[in-house]
Amino acid sequence: MEIEVRLLGMKELNARLEELDALGQKKLLSRVMRRVAKPTALAAKSNLTRFRRSGSLGSAIGVYAARARSKEVVRFQVGAQKKNRTALFVHNAFYHRRLKGIFYGHLLEFGHRIGTAETGWLRKGRRRKGAGGSSVGRVGAKRWLTPAVDSTKHRMTAAIRDEMQRGLDAIARRRDQKKANTESLVPP
């Protein structure tokens, strides 16, 4: 599930950033997007308390940077960080296993079919015995991320605007302070 936010007035924003000589434009955008996505991550964590067993999936939820596509400047995702060390330790200790990643968030969100050793895994090339491919049963979806996104998406555009304004004001204050400090110096 992706939410694409389109901001109008990006030309004016770029002009304002260049006017302020902001070297950290990408850093500012990253900080803004991380702060805007944080309420969604917190709502997702609170939704997971209903399905809690070990708590490892909830501790793996966070906001993390994703690889940007060709024209995107920044891209962030809310979800389970697969290699979260704390979550892995909790999961492995609770279930007495040696998993290498927290990978089952999507299975809980969308539901899945159940395969056994007799029927084989349901993915091609990963069957254990026999022809396989049939499922024993189905586990229903237990939505935890969709309600979090639905409850927070109406506030995202206002939050982006407010955070961008705060960031621009902070850059302007730092620039003015730097200018005031250099003017007070006595030339040699």
pTM check: above 0.85: no
- The DSSP secondary-structure symbol of 125 reads T
Within a domain: residue 136? no
Within a domain: residue 66? yes
Within a domain: residue 61? yes
Q: Which of 20, 19, 14 is nearest to 170 (CA)?
A: 20
Q: Which of 88, 86, 84 is nearest to 99 (CA)?
A: 88
Within a domain: residue 147? no
Q: Cite the DSSP H helix spans in the chain.
A: 10-19, 25-48, 56-60, 85-95, 105-110, 146-152, 156-183
Q: Which of 46, 144, 67 is nearest to 104 (CA)?
A: 144
Within a domain: residue 95? yes
Alpha-carbon distance of 157 to 147, in angstroms, equals 18
The parent domain of residue 48 ranges over 13-102+157-175
Alpha-carbon distance of 136 to 132, in angstroms, equals 11
The one-digit pLDDT tens for each residue of the chain (188 residues) are: 666 666 677 677 777 777 766 556 777 888 888 898 999 999 998 988 877 777 788 888 888 887 766 666 667 888 887 778 778 778 788 878 787 778 778 888 888 877 666 655 555 555 555 545 566 678 888 898 889 989 998 888 888 888 888 888 887 787 778 777 766 666 66
pLDDT for the residue numbered 105? 81
Within a domain: residue 23? yes
Alpha-carbon distance of 112 to 110, in angstroms, equals 7
Within a domain: residue 114? no
Number of domains in the chain: 1
Within a domain: residue 96? yes
